[in-house]
Chains A and B, each alone.
Chain A
Amino acid sequence: MAEPKVKYDRQLRIWGEQGQAVLEKASLCLLNCGPTGSETLKNLVLGGIGSITVVDGSKVEVGDLGNNFMVDESSIGQSKAKCVCSFLQELNDAVKAKFVEESPPKLIESNPSFFSQFTLVVATQLAEDSMIKLDKICREANVMLIFARSYGLTGFVRISLKEHTVIESKPDHFVDDLRLNNPWPELRRFVENIDLTVADPVEHKHIPYVVILIKMAEEWFKLHNGQLPSTREEKKEFKELLKSRMVSLDEDNYKEAIDASFKLFAPRGISQDVRQIINDSSVELHSNSSDFWVMVAALKEFVSNEGGGEAPLEGSIPDMTSSTEHYVNLQKIYQAKAEADFHSVEQRTRSLLKKIGRNSTSISKQTIKSFCRNARKLKISRYRPIEEEFKSPNLSELQKYLTDEDYSVAVGFYILLRAVDRFAFNYNSYPGEFDGAMDEDISRLKMMAYGILSDLGCNGQTLTEDLISEMCRFGAAELHAVAAFIGGVAAQEAIKLITKQFVPMCGSFIFNGIDHRSQLLML
């Protein structure tokens, strides 16, 4: 086996070779390489990201040795970007590592087109005005952006891009697509050929639960005008019926049928989530529509035509007690139906592509297949421009957070993290950055924070004195452990965005290092 495959084995088991290939093509830009930025990159370089560009204009100081593992005594006085970059290169020689010795705020100001070459920008420790400018640049250039900041025992991570669509969301728990309540003719025929009253006890206990449930449902229909059990009593009655057909107590297949009967009771047709996606305005295609939305448009047509209200069948079945023969045959029936559904969606996709003036083969078979297999699990995340959130946050949510005990510390930090930037803008240092003026800084920071809240029409009284004092005590310290935490979260989200697998977080993640009751704020 090739070396990289062995080296990356433990992560290939999570995002697969396809995810790895995308990661290895990605180019990432890091702004500021203090511990927060350095730790973010470390996690991505180890995983084999394609290339990194580290931007930082500062020189290594003695204080940096206490919080950044990527610099050491020999780095003092040298470019921080250069030192961090060379340590990162040591971790993985497959990664192309570059550095730019320039201050990120200046670069944002002077050379906005610099950022368009990257897949993703991770911007750490930026003040509000630079964040707003960078956000506009990246949105314009369609470059993904993650903000990350560590500040004392708090910090945040915020993703910013117009829209992120996921086909392979890989949820942990998702109900299998078995169509027990809506079997297609081939499945029905297969079920008909199996006799639930078979005399041989070994055969009886190896009838898969899929067959048991479909058969018993038909029996139920006859007695209940073709309706599925819907009330609690009916469901209980149905399960009793199942139990009564067991010939011995050790029949695992019947036990599984009872446990899986909720899959039968589920309503037919597509879920609310899928409905919302196919009704999104983006299904009105134009020549620049993304492949994802073209396929969603095809899905929409499929659901109301061949699908008969259902999404394409997933095609795989979970393991269940069964004879090998029944199980393998059942697998084939599900796969055949999934294949047929895929062909319909593929046809529709190709003709839609033609209709909007694109090459009808521009979306690969493999992509359409994966789309069909995951049609019930599609995910769309959209992120407000950061300036919009700062200027007009969702007020009802904000009010809710301010009065909710679970959120009060997190939302307090959210406001205070903004307040420290205003403070720094006005006084050229962060509150508590230097010893000696603590009391004055506390009252000044309080004014700033109250100001932000009252500008938004909220009451400042909900911010506790304790929290404001703590924020001053932090004095803009970038603690290594906090930076490692924030860097871990930022890297995790970067992987999800780049591989387009799993679901990235929404909203602003506010880290609470005091009691770890961190929160996501949807502002």
Chain B
Amino acid sequence: MATASRTRDLDKLLLRPGHLVGPNFEPGPELRDDLGEYARVLVIGAGGLGCELLKDLALSGFKNLDVIDMDRIEVTNLNRQFLFRLEDVGKPKAEVAAKRVMERVSGVNIVPHFCRIEEKELEFYSDFGIIVLGLDSVEARSYINAVACSFLEYDSDDNPREETMKPMVDGGTEGFKGHARVILPGFTPCFECTIWLFPPQVKFPLCTLAETPRTAAHCIEYAHLIKWDEVHSGKAFDPDDPEHMQWVYTAAVKRAELFGIPGVTYSLTQGVVKNIIPAIASTNAIISAACAMETLKIASGCSKTLSNYLTYNGVEGLHIKVTEFVRDKECLVCGPGVLVELESSITLRKFINILEEHPNLLLSKASVTYKGTNLYMQAPPVLEEMTRSNLDLPLFDLMGKVSKDIVHVTGVSCKGDRKTSSLKKLRVAFKGVVGVVDMDTAGGA
């Protein structure tokens, strides 16, 4: 009898034909069983969103989940990260979160990864059908976005090949506000196409801090950015060291008194120095639930998908808006890639130099991978040594003498004054290799 089944409610959605569903929806018990058996979902982050996501996905028919997070549990997490208890403080988030969900939802397997996202190889990410992001930083989103987009292949007409597309679902919250979005690389805008949605944080000018402080935050940043270095020559400031924080607070209070500025508190000091984003359980619950629903829809086709960006704002009333953003066809990350045309004699060393000067890349200290193989790695030293001998070989030979292919490079890119580590996709084409070069690239830049 249907009511005696654990999937009583989910079956309504997965076993019955529908009218407002995805184009590939094939309802039936097989769909439900395949979802449990074959669908692999990676959750990035086991924090406020991650805890919710793991629970929501485990109760949405997914049985193979992985979660990656480099952080350990802190007391300030406990007001919203409901899988953690006071006695868990100090333990890795990914491990505790995975264990707690598996304890309560039988049949679900969650593999935790207690490490940085950058520590995983590309192959690790390629194993998952869908990547769900529960992050609080623009940099981490950008990185995962680049990884997922790097799997996308384009045909000779620059059309994306759907079978190589790695969908992402991304959530983010701040206080009573949040967003959830679906990224189908090559089909809907990727994180980088709409990077302007995340404007860079405004920093106070140093001269204001040093000469004309007006607010409590100015006094705190003076103590944190200027006074600390003056007094503690060479000792790095550690925001997680309570003694360091106390020192900054005391110094800020003194400065505020000197200028007659009110409002310096310990709590504000922490907020300014650590750039604390306020966070509550309910907003995380809303955003994660929307992300989990979309993940289920992408995997099963059981309903239409969000197209493609949802914002939630609960400050004044309740505002939920869906915006359909458009792709940036020139996007360096999800686009067909930057075409780099080379002579077949060019060595890997020369190639790395070319990347540094390439106007669309300006990428220095590049590490190069081809089809998952490290051609040259700048770090760690062991890998550098192992791959160093490749530097003087022609790239053409290292790539198995194909006329053109995708190469992944990571390095430091400069945007104005900001240096960020970035991963780029290149379409390398060799000139004068007879008969194999496609028309579209042969005529390229």
Contact of A459 with B by CB under 8 A: no
Bound: A61/B208 CA distance, A: 64
**Interchain nearest-CB distance for B60 vs A (Å):** 5
Are B292 and A481 in contact (CB-based, < 8 A)?
A: yes
Contacts of A171 in B (CB 8 A): 315-316
Contact of A104 with B by CB under 8 A: no
Contact of B322 with A by CB under 8 A: yes
Nearest B residue to A332 via CB reads B260
Are A69 and B55 in contact (CB-based, < 8 A)?
A: yes
Are A9 and B76 in contact (CB-based, < 8 A)?
A: yes
Bound: A469/B259 CA distance, A: 69
Contact of A292 with B by CB under 8 A: no
**Given A7-B75, A473-B16, also A513-B303 (CB < 8 A):** yes
Bound: A61/B3 CA distance, A: 9
Contact of A91 with B by CB under 8 A: yes
Are A473 and B285 in contact (CB-based, < 8 A)?
A: no
Map CB proximity to B onto A501-523 as digits: 1 under 8 Å, 0 otherwise.
Answer: 01111100100011111101000
Nearest B residue to A513 via CB reads B293
CB within 8 A of A14: which of B55, B266, B278, B290?
A: B278
Are B280 and A14 in contact (CB-based, < 8 A)?
A: yes
Contacts of A135 in B (CB 8 A): none
Bound: A488/B316 CA distance, A: 16
Are A90 and B85 in contact (CB-based, < 8 A)?
A: yes
Contacts of A434 in B (CB 8 A): 2
Contacts of B59 in A (CB 8 A): 35, 66-69, 480-481
Nearest A residue to B17 via CB reads A473
Are B6 and A62 in contact (CB-based, < 8 A)?
A: yes
Bound: A381/B3 CA distance, A: 42
Bound: A474/B317 CA distance, A: 29
Bound: A504/B282 CA distance, A: 14
**Interchain nearest-CB distance for A406 vs B (Å):** 10
Are A480 and B60 in contact (CB-based, < 8 A)?
A: yes
Are B322 and A516 in contact (CB-based, < 8 A)?
A: yes
Q: How many residues of B contact A (CB 8 A)?
A: 77
Are A206 and B212 in contact (CB-based, < 8 A)?
A: yes
Which interface residue of A46, A48, A520 has the most chain B CB atoms within 10 A? Answer: A46
Question: B148-156, B304-312, B434-442: which one contacts chain A?
Answer: B304-312
Contacts of A503 in B (CB 8 A): 315-317
CB within 8 A of B278: which of A13, A482, A509?
A: A13
Q: How many residues of A contact B (CB 8 A)?
A: 88
Bound: A113/B119 CA distance, A: 60
Contacts of B293 in A (CB 8 A): 153, 481-482, 485, 513
**Given A63-B4, A480-B60, also A467-B318 (CB < 8 A):** no
Contacts of B80 in A (CB 8 A): 10-11, 46-47
Bound: A455/B439 CA distance, A: 67
Contact of B286 with A by CB under 8 A: yes
Are A491 and B260 in contact (CB-based, < 8 A)?
A: no
Bound: A514/B281 CA distance, A: 24
Are A514 and B20 in contact (CB-based, < 8 A)?
A: yes
- Contacting A at CB under 8 A, from B72-87, are 75-76, 78-80, 82, 85
Nearest A residue to B295 via CB reads A481
**Interchain nearest-CB distance for A449 vs B (Å):** 15
Contact of A170 with B by CB under 8 A: yes
Nearest B residue to A438 via CB reads B16
Contacts of A13 in B (CB 8 A): 175, 267, 271, 276, 278
Are A73 and B281 in contact (CB-based, < 8 A)?
A: no
Are B13 and A153 in contact (CB-based, < 8 A)?
A: yes
Are B322 and A10 in contact (CB-based, < 8 A)?
A: no
Map CB proximity to A onto B79-98 as digits: 1 under 8 Å, 0 otherwise.
Answer: 11010010000000000000
Contact of B64 with A by CB under 8 A: no
Contact of B9 with A by CB under 8 A: yes
Contacts of B316 in A (CB 8 A): 169, 171-172, 502-503
Which interface residue of A9, A320, A520 has the most chain B CB atoms within 10 A? Answer: A9
A residues touching B (Cβ–Cβ < 8 Å)? Answer: 1, 3, 6-14, 35, 39, 42-44, 46-48, 61-63, 65-69, 72-73, 90-91, 152-153, 169-172, 206, 319-324, 327-328, 432, 434-435, 438, 465-467, 469-470, 473-475, 477-485, 487-489, 491-493, 495-496, 502-506, 509, 513-518, 520
Contact sample, A vs B, 19 pairs, CB 8 Å cutoff: A10-B279, A11-B278, A13-B271, A13-B278, A39-B285, A44-B281, A47-B281, A63-B3, A63-B4, A65-B6, A469-B19, A474-B12, A477-B8, A484-B286, A484-B292, A492-B314, A505-B314, A505-B318, A518-B320
